[in-house]
Amino acid sequence: MHISTAFSVLSLLLASITLATQGDRLVLTPGGYRSKSKVYELPTGSSLAHTSDAVQSIDAGGSVIHVDGAGDAMELGRRDFLDGWIAFAWWLNPGLAPIASFTTIWEVPPLPETDHGQTVFLFNALQPNGSGILQPVLQYGPSGAGGGSFWAVATWHVDDAGNAFFTPLVPVSPGQILNAAITLTNTNGSTFDYNAQFTNVPGTSMNLTGAPQLTFAAETLEAYGVTALSDYPSGSTVFSGIDLTLAGGVTPSIAWSHQDDAADGVSISIDVDGATQGRMTITY
Ligand SMILES: *[C@@H]1O[C@H](CO)[C@@H](O)[C@H](O)[C@H]1NC(C)=O
Ligand SMILES: *[C@@H]1O[C@H](CO)[C@@H](O)[C@H](O)[C@H]1NC(C)=O
Ligand SMILES: *[C@@H]1O[C@H](CO)[C@@H](O)[C@H](O)[C@H]1NC(C)=O
């Protein structure tokens, strides 16, 4: 992880220099750096629709208001999608019924003691076996959605073609409890509709229709620009209430895999394994 992370960060820097000279500034998303022109805030009431070659946002009246083509992918490559994942746990559905619901509860941490312009993301997420990630995200620091020296939440959909959509960023306070939920809302043949949101933070709901099946579940600490351990919140973050159910109401028997950066002082432990009321602790 160490070597590959260092390598990836270097390649990201090189890619960002290349892109900057091409005139399209990079901004940070929970899926890594993206061209600013492809990072799009969803107006209230709109939703996201996957088509065969693009992701469109649709307004409340059903009109297409923004289309992101998948054709002009950035040069970052698929590996780079994982850049910045510092401590995380994951489960890949091995072909059981589709994941129907994935919830996680955590408390907004204290503000980091130091601010070096770093960005910290904490989230649970579902991904297809391919391009894309749907995630209700807590962030500290700047991203393409805005932000700064405070905690805030937004729901994001980011793909490997460089596109990112987010709901308007909502500031939150240390100590506030966040209830994140990603839910399968409909299935039609090989396409799937999902909703992701913080169920207790208004304005964070995102609908995604016509998506491929989301088969990879993750609990993640992702960070960029951290220069000292004090750039993280002190103490630990506990992801609890981790419930993962499959279509048909089935609770699978699962074991979470995990990876962290203990050498740099950040670790994740699986305190309660499995798909019911799971609990994990990220310690900084
Ligand atoms: C994921 O996709 C890769 C190639 O796109 C394929 O080889 C692999 O079998 C897929 N895995 C699952 C679990 O579908
Ligand atoms: C299901 O998909 C088919 C073909 O893609 C489409 O014609 C049909 O309208 C869809 N049904 C629903 C309920 O969305
Ligand atoms: C998402 O879909 C649900 C169910 O169709 C709907 O109630 C809701 O208004 C939609 N929009 C958002 C932003 O959640």
Residue 269 CA to residue 219 CA, distance in Å, equals: 11
> What separation in Å is there between the alpha carbon of 207 and the centre of ligand 3?
6
The pLDDT-based confidence of 208 (bands split at 50, 70, 90) is: very high
Does the beta carbon of 188 sit less than 6 angstroms from any atom of ligand 2?
A: yes
> What separation in Å is there between the alpha carbon of 19 and the centre of ligand 1?
31
Residue 254 CA to residue 143 CA, distance in Å, equals: 33
Structure tokens at 48: 């996201």
- Considering only CA atoms, which of 214, 213, 200, 218 is closest in space to residue 259? 218
Q: What is the pTM of this model?
A: 0.84
Q: What is the CA radius of gyration of the chain?
A: 18
At 254-264, the pLDDT tens digits run: 999 999 888 88
Say which CATH topology domain 3-283 has.
Jelly Rolls (2.60.120)
Phi, psi of 155 (to 5 degrees): -100, 135
Q: Do 181 and 103 form a contact (C-beta atoms < 8 A)?
A: yes
Q: β-pairing, 47-50 with 54-58?
A: antiparallel
At 115-168, the pLDDT tens digits run: 999 999 999 999 998 778 999 999 999 999 999 999 999 999 998 777 899 999
Q: Is 252 a residue whose pLDDT tops 50? A: yes
Domain parsing of the chain, residue ranges: 3-283
Protein residues whose CB sits closer than 6 Å to any atom of ligand 3: 45, 47, 195, 205, 207
Q: Do 172 and 84 form a contact (C-beta atoms < 8 A)?
A: no
